[in-house]
């Protein structure tokens, strides 16, 4: 029995010839035969339905160029699709397909084919006849080899083979002279062969999670390579030839076993983004000083005890040094004047690093999980700062005034040892979120009432018993309020219920 939408769709198609139809996510179990009346249709979207087959009348759509039938149950592939010879864009992903059939050679004009997340174990021997193909997505299948004809795809620019069963780099890939993007990630491929060096136009290579222990020297032949992703492998060292990749702008080496970087890497003067997280480097590589274009650097969890002579990188605006063992920062750290995001969480900082005070452009500063005990707020002179995370420290005192953080929107002070707060909060006129949970507070300063932008407040796990009168002016303004794990008096609970019941998240009043 046809659904209500299927009946309406059949009626619509019977009355009108359409150029474009979007029937996605409608719960369709079948496509009406009337679809064949729209012979001039160019675009058809029937993704995310329950289709197991397609009507023969679909063959009448001889002008169809764009077809999305992803997220259905079309296995085996309906033969009628091979009669759509004008197709240029086809999405067959998420259908449970186990084979395709050599009839696909009929798609002579096909430029983009998406076959991801199926159950393909092999491609047809004549797959290379899809000579117009420019983008091919095959990730999350069961492929372990490519047909010999695959090298005939001379127009192919983007190829995704990730999450398959390849144990080595297929030789056929070396013939793809137009290839610009190649993804091999998450295959059981413990080495990359010299075939890689034949891809002279390659701009992006994703080779994450392969189990690689080395990178072939042929990587240095990729003069157009701009992005290289080698994370989650077993690399202990890198080929010096990597430094020949003069166009390289993004390099991901995270989650490997690197103890050093090749000095030649300094020749990559276009490098802007470098990820070294989770490598046992032990020290800041000196060669980084020579890459003046560097904008983002991740050295989290790299066993850093100090930063040596520091960094002098004028373009650096994003820096992650979290999960190391830093006790202080070098005096020239404040010279990173372009820095606007800095993560120093989970280090060994005990005293406030004076070198932070020169970061005039900083917008997000994360210092959680250190051992800071005291901060003079008057030293925090960051006119652009929007987020400050001081949680999970040992703070007992915040002295001075909040008078130099005019743009602060998020302040996290949870899990410290604060028994009282600074009296004047009025300078934080843009503050929207304040986390004071897990401290030793039993009262709030009256000036909190003047924070006319605050929407989110967390007071959990303190020593409050009485209702904080300072919050009364915020009735109607606060949108989320956390109060649990305090010893509220009956009168306080009654006032909370009267004034804030609708926004209290964690107490039943």
- Asked if residues 333 and 316 have their Cβ atoms less than 8 Å apart, the reply is no
| pLDDT surpasses 90 at 357 | no
Task: Calculate mean pLDDT across residues 467-489.
Answer: 95
Query: Exposure pattern of 183-209 as b/e (b: 16+ CB <10 Å)?
Result: bbbbbebeebbebbbbbeebbbbbbbb
pLDDT of residue 11: 82
- Asked if residues 326 and 304 have their Cβ atoms less than 8 Å apart, the reply is yes
Which residues have CB under 8 Å from 192's CB, separation 6+?
A: 169, 184, 207, 210, 212, 215, 216, 219
| pLDDT surpasses 90 at 328 | yes
pLDDT of residue 242: 96
Task: Calculate mean pLDDT across residues 72-76.
Answer: 93
pLDDT of residue 1: 57
- Measuring CA to CA, how many Å separate 140 from each of 144, 182, 184? 12, 15, 11
pLDDT of residue 86: 97
pLDDT of residue 371: 98
Task: Kindly report which listed range (26-35, 474-483, 500-509) carries the lowest average pLDDT score.
Answer: 500-509
pLDDT of residue 500: 94
Categorize the per-residue pLDDT at 2 as very low, low, confident or very high, splitting at 50, 70 and 90.
low
Q: Please, what's the largest Cα pairwise distance for the chain? A: 81
According to DSSP, residue 360 is labeled T
Distance, CA of 217 to CA of 24 (rounded, Å): 48
Mean pLDDT rounded to a whole number for the chain: 95
Can you read off the two tokens belonging to residue 280? 């046992």
Could you give the percent of the chain with pLDDT greater than 90? 93
Give 79-130 pLDDT, tens digit per residue: 999 999 999 999 999 999 999 999 999 999 999 999 999 999 999 999 999 9
Task: Calculate mean pLDDT across residues 354-378.
Answer: 95
Give 190-247 pLDDT, tens digit per residue: 999 899 999 999 999 999 999 999 999 999 999 999 999 999 999 999 999 999 999 9
Categorize the per-residue pLDDT at 287 as very low, low, confident or very high, splitting at 50, 70 and 90.
very high
Which residues have CB under 8 Å from 8's CB, separation 6+?
A: none
Can you read off the two tokens belonging to residue 106? 């009929």
What is the model's pTM?
0.93
**What are the chain's domains?**
1-156 (3.80.10.10), 373-509 (3.80.10.10)
Could you give the percent of the chain with pLDDT greater than 70? 99
């Amino acid at each position: 029995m046809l659904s209500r939408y299927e009946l309406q769709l059949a009626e619509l198609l019977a009355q009108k010839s359409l150029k474009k139809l979007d029937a996605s996510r409608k719960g369709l179990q079948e496509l009406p035969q009337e679809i064949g009346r729209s012979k001039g249709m160019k675009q058809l979207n029937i993704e995310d339905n329950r289709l197991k087959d397609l009507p023969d009348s679909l063959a009448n759509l001889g002008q169809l160029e764009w077809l999305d039938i992803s997220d259905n149950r079309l296995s085996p592939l309906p033969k009628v699709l091979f009669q759509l010879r004008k197709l240029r864009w086809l999405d067959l992903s998420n259908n449970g397909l186990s084979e395709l059939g050599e009839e696909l050679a009929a798609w002579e004009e096909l430029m983009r084919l998406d076959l991801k997340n199926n159950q393909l174990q092999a491609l047809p021997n004549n797959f290379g006849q899809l000579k117009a193909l420019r983008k091919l997505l095959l990730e999350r299948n069961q492929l372990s080899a490519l047909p010999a004809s695959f090298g005939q795809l001379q127009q192919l620019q983007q190829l995704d083979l990730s999450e398959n069963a390849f144990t080595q780099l297929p030789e056929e890939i070396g013939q793809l002279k137009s290839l610009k993007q190649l993804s091999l990630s998450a295959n059981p491929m413990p080495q990359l062969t010299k075939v890689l060096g034949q891809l002279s136009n390659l701009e992006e290579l994703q080779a994450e999670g392969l189990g690689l222990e080395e990178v072939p020297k042929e990587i240095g032949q990729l003069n157009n390579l701009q992005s290289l992703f080698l994370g989650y492998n077993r690399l202990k060292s890198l080929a010096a030839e990597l430094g020949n990749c003069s166009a390289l702008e993004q390099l991901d080496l995270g989650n490997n076993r690197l103890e050093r970087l090749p000095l030649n890497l300094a020749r990559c003067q276009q490098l802007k983004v470098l990820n070294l997280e989770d490598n046992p480097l032990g020290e800041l590589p000196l060669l980084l000083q020579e890459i003046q274009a560097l904008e983002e650097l991740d050295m989290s969890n790299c066993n850093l005890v100090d930063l040596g002579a520091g960094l002098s990188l004028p373009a650096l605006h994003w820096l992650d040094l979290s999960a190391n063992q830093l006790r202080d920062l070098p005096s020239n750290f404040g010279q990173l004047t372009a820095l606007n995001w800095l993560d120093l969480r989970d280090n060994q900082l005990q005293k406030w690093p004076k070198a932070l005070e020169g970061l005039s452009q900083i917008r997000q500063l994360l210092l959680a999980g250190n051992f800071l005990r005291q901060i003079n707020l008057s030293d925090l002179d960051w006119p652009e700062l929007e987020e400050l995370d001081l949680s999970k420290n040992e703070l007992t005192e915040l002295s001075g005034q909040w008078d130099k953080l005019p743009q602060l929107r998020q302040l996290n002070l949870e899990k410290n040892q604060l028994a009282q707060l600074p009296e004047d909060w009025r300078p934080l006129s843009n503050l929207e979120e304040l986390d004071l949970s897990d401290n030793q507070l039993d009262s709030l300063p009256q000036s909190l009432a003047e924070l006319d932008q605050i929407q989110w407040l967390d007071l959990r796990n303190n020593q409050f018993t009485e209702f904080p009168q300072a919050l009364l002016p915020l009735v109607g303004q606060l949108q989320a309020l956390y109060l649990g794990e305090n010893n509220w008096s009956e009168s306080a609970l009654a006032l909370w219920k009267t004034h804030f019941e609708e926004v209290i998240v964690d107490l039943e009043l």
